[in-house]
Amino acid sequence: MHKNINSNEAQVQLDDIDQKQNNSDDQQLDQENELPNHNKTKFLKVLSVTGLIAALTAAGTVTSVVKFCDPRSSIPDDGFNPTPINPDDGVNPSPTPGPGPTPDDGDSPTPNPQPNPDPDDKPGPEPSPAPGPTPDPGPEPRPEPQPRPEPPVPPTPDDPIQKLPDVDYMKFMWEQHFKDKRSSIETFKDVEENFKYFLIRTRPNIKIQDINISFNRVSNTDDKLGLDKDNHRMSVRFNNESFNLDIGKVNDSTKPIILKVIKSESDPADNGKIFSILNWEGTNNNKKIDPQKTSYEVLQIGYSKVGPSPEDKTVLEADIQIMKMPGQVQNVPPTLSKEITLLKEVFSDSRIDNQMTGIEQWNTSNIVSMQSAFKNSSFNGDLSNWDTSNVIDMSHMFANSSFNNQSITNWDTSKVFYMNHMFNNAKAFNQNINTKQVNVNGKNYNAWDTSSVRRINSMFESAEMFNQSIDKWNITWVEDITKLFKNAKKFNQDMITKKIKVGNKEYMTWDTARITSLEGMFWGATSFNGNIENWNTIKVENLDNIFRDAESFNRDISSDIQSTRMHPSLPKKDHYIAWEVKNVKTINFGFFNAKSFSKILKNWNVKKINEETKKGKKNTVSWDQGTKSWSRFDKPRIGKIY
């Protein structure tokens, strides 16, 4: 027999046991207040024990005990009301640090800096405040009640498209992402392979070997679709069932990227969906996808035709530019469309997963530009199979990226014109990219052959870890070398002008005879003290910031006609006066804060510098400020200091 015991029934039992109590609760409280303090506690204990005995006696069987100090839960006893769980809660990936400052393009004028503050002027540490009295913590708080466990996340309902029979699925996907979206310059074989790869990634239960594809009135599948016909049809036979798929309208050298959303931070309803994109402003159903908040897999690589630009000398005629794949790209197809010639910015601003697959298998033999391909990206994958033999432009390729692996050490750069900013702000990069003979797949060639390069300005600017020898580089045709090692804090290698032979090529290393500006070349290269003593500077007009903040540099760069310091390998006809500066017009901040420099340069011919200063065309302020080790009498006579 089950009974609930209320407070009144309990009180009646208490009155029968202890006759000192009155019949009302108020009288009971009055008597309690009159008790001495030392008896009150005892009385309450007796009251509790005897009351409990009486209650148990009266009730017989107690099914629940009421705790007067805790309120009853509002949740029904027969279950609980679960709160739906957001499947994304707590599983979002940590945000990748944003990209650093935009790399200096080397074209803007160098601002005149303020002198470095004296370290002795730094303010001292602020005094610690005196500790105050420890506050009374008060009564120990009651532990919070433990929450009920959340129910498991309900399974996501199956995509109705995935429930379609295989043939209906193929027809539906063709209509959505392939019909009217083919390119005039792709082949019929490309169409077949693109569609099959799409099915492999989206419908793995379909056995591709069971699909037989042919095209009406097409004898050679290596033929291009062209623009002259729009009535191409693809015949498909699968599991003894045959059907036709119309190719539809053919587009002029344009194909969309097809992607599958893995996880969308901005719209979870997109998870698992497939979109066709011609630009990142809209998809096939006019939906905008934010690639920085969406992880996705590429099912088809897109591209478009670009015409020649007056500013871009690498595009001499219409080229095919790959569609960018920024943000959280995960996987890409292993086959790169052979019609693509430009990889400009393909993975720039990408948060690429370390396990991304496909890119390592790309055939890049037709690529002429890799400009900014991995700029501002987290990519650090294997590129050892990339064929770079036809690349002309590698500028900004790994700028501001975390790239640093040896997979590029054997690259063929014999046709590259532009390497400017290539590793600008690539703070981790430190790989062997010296010129050397290698054998790859049975082919002998000189890796990192720089004989065609025209621009290497800012190539290693702020590449703080880079300290590899590049003493075999051929820079004979380089026109812009400014800021090459600016803020390359660890770089300290020799770069001597000498004649050498690598493979079957004989040439002069570090031939600077064509260089007109060495502006900022070692600015902030705090470790640099490499040998550059025999450089030919006869055409140099600008030495602004060349050794500024190069705190370790102290090499003999005097231009003494009696001591030309030629390398023994140079024939007499190639002799010249090293560090001849008679054509230099400006040296602003040239040795600013070069703390270790102490060599004798009083024989430098600085006539043009002083002429330009006198005319008011140039200002030679602070060119030697901070040269603590340099005697005034060993300095060239520049400006008004003499």
Classified as helix, coil or strand, 246 is strand
State the 10-residue block means of pLDDT for the chain, 642 residues long. 42 43 44 43 43 43 35 36 34 37 42 41 40 39 37 49 94 96 96 97 94 94 92 94 96 96 91 90 67 94 85 70 94 96 96 83 97 96 96 98 95 98 98 97 96 99 98 98 99 97 97 98 99 97 98 93 55 83 96 97 94 75 91 88 42
The pLDDT score that the predictor gives to residue 568 is 62
pLDDT of the residue at 59: 43
Selection from 351, 338, 349, 392 nearest residue 372 by Cα:
349
What are residue 258's DSSP bridge partners? 276, 300
* pLDDT given at position 477: 98
Under DSSP, the state recorded for 175 is: H
User: What is the four-CA torsion angle of 6, 9, 10, 15, rounded to 10 degrees?
Assistant: 160
For 452, counting Cβ atoms within 10 Å of its Cβ (0-12 exposed, 13-18 middle, 19+ buried), the class is: middle
**What gap in Å lies between CA 206 and CA 239, rounded to an integer?**
10
pLDDT confidence of residue 97: 38
The closest alpha carbon to 264, from 244, 226, 284, 291, belongs to 291
The model's pTM: 0.74
pLDDT of residue 51: 47
Measured over the CA atoms of residue 180, residue 183, residue 184 and residue 186, the dihedral's sign is negative
- pLDDT the model gives residue 353: 67
Residue 565 has a pLDDT of 56
Alpha-carbon span 437 to 36, nearest angstrom: 104
- Report residue 221 CA to chain centroid gap: 40
Q: Which of 479, 449, 308, 321 is nearest to 389 (CA)?
A: 449
Q: What is the rounded CA–CA span in Å between residue 582 and residue 561?
A: 12
